[in-house]
């Protein structure tokens, strides 16, 4: 009888369901559902897509409006420790560019974000952004090339421009002309999904 009782913990351990793998989204207002209900945002829609297609992943949205690469870098170690993600989606840079931060400094922050995520055992998906031309062609060009360079150096999947097909369509933008509206959120998801899906396992 004692031997049988001692077996129970091992039996329960084998029978216990594995924890759901986590997808951690580290982004700015574009991923924080700025100006709309959270459930309307593309990150919430991603959770629905995963469930409908048989993936057991849990999406954790660590995005914050106004976030910069530097701010995210300060918060990332704790998020990685707490959630232990299988995948990290990095959707950042827009606020760095709008503040005119030096591209090499932004690059350094991205380097650290990627390396920390990988060191924690996560795969990384990078989401690119572009800066309006009024910041000057040299700066805008260097900023746009930053994402391709990172993707090439680290061999990362890349969404080249997160607002592709959205930014110039007034029907998909909020009145501020900066943030996508609720109607644009499914389109944002469709830009992310083809790059994210190969990183997932059922």
The residues carrying an active-site annotation are 29, 176, 179
State the Cα–Cα distance between residues 109 and 115, nearest whole angstrom.
Answer: 10
Sheet-wide strand order for 123-127: 58-61, 22-27, 87-91, 123-127, 158-159
- Residues whose CB is less than 8 angstroms from the CB of residue 72 and which lie 6 or more positions away in sequence, other chains included: 26, 90, 92, 109, 113
Q: Hey, what are 85's tokens?
A: 């993600």
């Amino acid at each position: 009888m004692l031997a049988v009782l001692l077996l129970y913990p091992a039996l329960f351990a084998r029978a216990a369901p594995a924890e759901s793998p986590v997808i951690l989204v580290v982004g700015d207002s574009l991923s924080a559902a700025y100006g709309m209900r959270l459930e309307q945002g593309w990150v919430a829609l991603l959770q629905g897509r995963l469930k409908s297609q048989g993936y057991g992943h849990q999406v954790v949205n660590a995005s914050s409006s106004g976030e910069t690469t530097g701010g995210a870098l300060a918060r990332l170690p704790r998020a990685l420790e707490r959630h232990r993600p299988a995948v990290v989606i990095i959707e950042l840079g827009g606020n760095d560019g709008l503040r005119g931060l030096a591209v090499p400094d932004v690059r350094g922050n991205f380097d650290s974000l990627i390396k920390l995520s990988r060191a924690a055992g996560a795969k990384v998906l990078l989401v690119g952004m572009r800066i309006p031309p009024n910041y000057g062609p040299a700066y805008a060009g260097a900023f746009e090339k930053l994402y391709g360079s990172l993707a090439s150096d680290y061999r990362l999947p890349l969404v080249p421009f997160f607002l592709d097909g959205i930014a110039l369509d007034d029907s998909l933008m909020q009145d501020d002309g900066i943030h996508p509206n609720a109607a644009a959120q499914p389109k944002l998801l469709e830009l992310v999904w083809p790059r994210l899906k190969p990183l997932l396992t059922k």
